[in-house]
Structure 1
Amino acid sequence: MFPRPVQQVSAPARIAYQIALPVALFIWLLPLLGVAMTSVRPPADLAAGNYFGLPSAIAWSNYAEIFQNSPIGQYIWNSFKVTIPTVIGAVAISCMTGFALGIYRFRANIVIFFLFVAGNFVPFQILMVPVRDMTVKLGLYNTTTGLVLFHIAFQSGFCTLFMRNFIRAMPPALIEAARVEGVAEWKIFLHVVLPIMRPAIAALAVLVFTFIWNDYFWATVLTTSASTQPVTAGLYSLNGQWIAAWHLVSAGSIVAALPPVAMFFLMQRHFIAGLTLGAVK
């Protein structure tokens, strides 16, 4: 039923696997390698049509130029102002909704859970016009607050699904033992459930941080100015009015990718533990 471990297959299959794996890895990393090379390519190389060859020189000055001659620092700060409150809000809400839907048994449990999950199946392009009109009417268009509130609302469905399933896998005896001792429900949530949920919270925080930081669609739909645009939408401003400065855009892309990569490595142990917790008994 399941694929056999590579150590148990025939010798020709193992050789083919050992050859195909680095080839597939190289193909997967090729776009990233291309962006990295372009980020240190001198402008003269691009003007001469040297897009895919080795750079004639290593132009580390491209990274200095994007900070000196563009507001990329403001764009990165805007991304943090949007991403961090969204992560806190979405994870906090999903912990409470996951606890309520995972622990308590009531008639509308499945209906409410379905309403949370159903939003994930709606194509976000359909929501573009109504969400934009709603933010304009509420005075939240082109504001960090509007972008944060929308992301929290949109991410709560996936986060609730994640947390509810995690809590349902917890041993019910833990909750029942606390209730027998007369512990209030809110104290059970704070002192019994939350400490056990730490790996899941860490894993979910990394996922949501990556989702929101890399968002481009809603960043361009709901923001227009450099004072509010996240870095994904602001990278386009690195191009000149008449000339496409791809070396600067590539350098800005590498800089923009560093925070989620750094967060993943900082939270790697908790992230892996959260994804694999409950996989085996």
Structure 2
Amino acid sequence: MYPRPIPETAKARRFAYGLGVWTVLALWLLPLFAIILTSFRTFEDVMAGNYWTWPEETDFIGNFAAVFQQTDMVHYFVNSLIITIPSVIAVLLLATMTGYVLSRHPFRGSTLLFATFIAGNFLPHQVFMIPVRDTMVSLGLYDTYWALILFHVSFQIGFATLFMRNFIAALPGDLFQAARAEGATPWQILVQIVVPLVRPALAALAILLFTFIWNDYFWAVVLTQTDAVKPVTAGLANLRGEYVSAWNVVSAATLFVAIPPVLMFFLMQRHFVSGLTMGAVKG
């Protein structure tokens, strides 16, 4: 059920709707605005309690220099890339193949298997904290890159399979019949027909997966212990002092950490929008 459009003659309702949208947007952007302002402040300005007004003194370059010179954020940044990029690639490959089989090659029990993928998305991850940690310890993978990579691949595959299965199922069946009539194997159909047609969906899914995995904090704390393999989210928590925290440096580091997902979205924005609207209109 979709909301009804507001007629142009109802000016009061349109004004109220626009005011509500801008209010929600302002409230949502307020914390981000505070972080950006704090990244410009000096330590003394932060300690004086000047959080929301314009900085009396600015030291944006010094704050970012401190991120690279006084912290290990570059190391945490590299760790996140090592964890996120292989995880996203593996999930895309597995989800595309699984979605293709579930949508175009149904078998006995395929519906139950698909329902299992969907059901996994509704379970809170906190329920699996102790079993997953114990499993990684027993496998000798605790506090390694592989622990986080295997976890993210395993727990993102459900959502990704649901995503790709629906897109592949929306493709015209005549394409598959024609390909089979020409003697194409299922693997050839997947590689030469399905993948080129669902590239916008793959781009949209890649952005979502990259953002989910890059921003994960809970499992970064549960499955890592030493700084050698911690990603940026856990690294940011390490910047807090025991008694005093340099929030200006923490804010600058936060902006540094936010660059990859934001940059990826803007570089692939066209593919992201087309991927989300793919199949929305027939004809």
Q: Please report the TM-score for the alignment, with normalisation by the length of structure 1.
A: 0.96
Paired position in structure 2 for 1:227: 228
- Residues 2 and 162 of structure 1: CA distance in aligned 2, closer, same or farther (over 3 Å): closer
For residues 129 and 29 of structure 2, the distance between their equivalents in structure 1, rounded to whole angstroms, comes to 32
For residues 278 and 221 of structure 2, the distance between their equivalents in structure 1, rounded to whole angstroms, comes to 37
- Residues 231 and 17 of structure 1: CA distance in aligned 2, closer, same or farther (over 3 Å): same
- Residues 151 and 23 of structure 1: CA distance in aligned 2, closer, same or farther (over 3 Å): same
Paired position in structure 2 for 1:27: 27
Structure 1 gap segments, 5+ residues each: none
For residues 166 and 8 of structure 1, the distance between their equivalents in structure 2, rounded to whole angstroms, comes to 35
SS in structure 1 of the partner of residue 63 of structure 2:
helix
Paired position in structure 2 for 1:245: 246
Amino acid at match of 1:271: F
Q: Aligned Cα RMSD in Å?
A: 1.3
Q: How many percent identity over aligned positions?
A: 51
Q: Is the 8 A contact 1:40 1:62 kept in 2?
A: yes
Cα shift at 1:2: 4.2
Cα shift at 1:8: 2.5
Q: Residues 129-188 of structure 1, C-alpha deviation per residue, up to 9 Å, x if partnerless?
A: 010111111111110111101100000000000011111111111001010111111111
Paired position in structure 1 for 2:55: 55
Cα shift at 1:19: 3.3
Q: Which stretch of structure 1 is more off in the superposition, 58-67 or 85-94?
A: 58-67
Structure 1 ranges of 4+ moved more than 4 A: none
Amino acid at match of 1:36: I
For residues 158 and 253 of structure 1, the distance between their equivalents in structure 2, rounded to whole angstroms, comes to 27
Paired position in structure 2 for 1:175: 176
Amino acid at match of 1:280: V
Paired position in structure 1 for 2:273: 272
SS in structure 2 of the partner of residue 215 of structure 1:
coil
Q: Please report the TM-score for the alignment, with normalisation by the length of structure 2.
A: 0.95
Cα shift at 1:66: 1.0
Q: Is the 8 A contact 1:66 1:238 kept in 2?
A: no
Q: Is the 8 A contact 1:239 1:248 kept in 2?
A: no
Cα shift at 1:4: 3.8
SS in structure 2 of the partner of residue 142 of structure 1:
coil
Paired position in structure 2 for 1:95: 96
SS in structure 2 of the partner of residue 244 of structure 1:
coil
Paired position in structure 2 for 1:108: 109
For residues 17 and 120 of structure 1, the distance between their equivalents in structure 2, rounded to whole angstroms, comes to 33
The count of corresponding residues between Structure 1 and Structure 2 is 281
Amino acid at match of 1:155: Q
SS in structure 2 of the partner of residue 56 of structure 1:
coil
For residues 9 and 280 of structure 2, the distance between their equivalents in structure 1, rounded to whole angstroms, comes to 25
For residues 14 and 238 of structure 2, the distance between their equivalents in structure 1, rounded to whole angstroms, comes to 48
For residues 49 and 170 of structure 1, the distance between their equivalents in structure 2, rounded to whole angstroms, comes to 57
Paired position in structure 2 for 1:194: 195
Q: Which stretch of structure 1 is more off in the superposition, 185-194 or 210-219?
A: 185-194
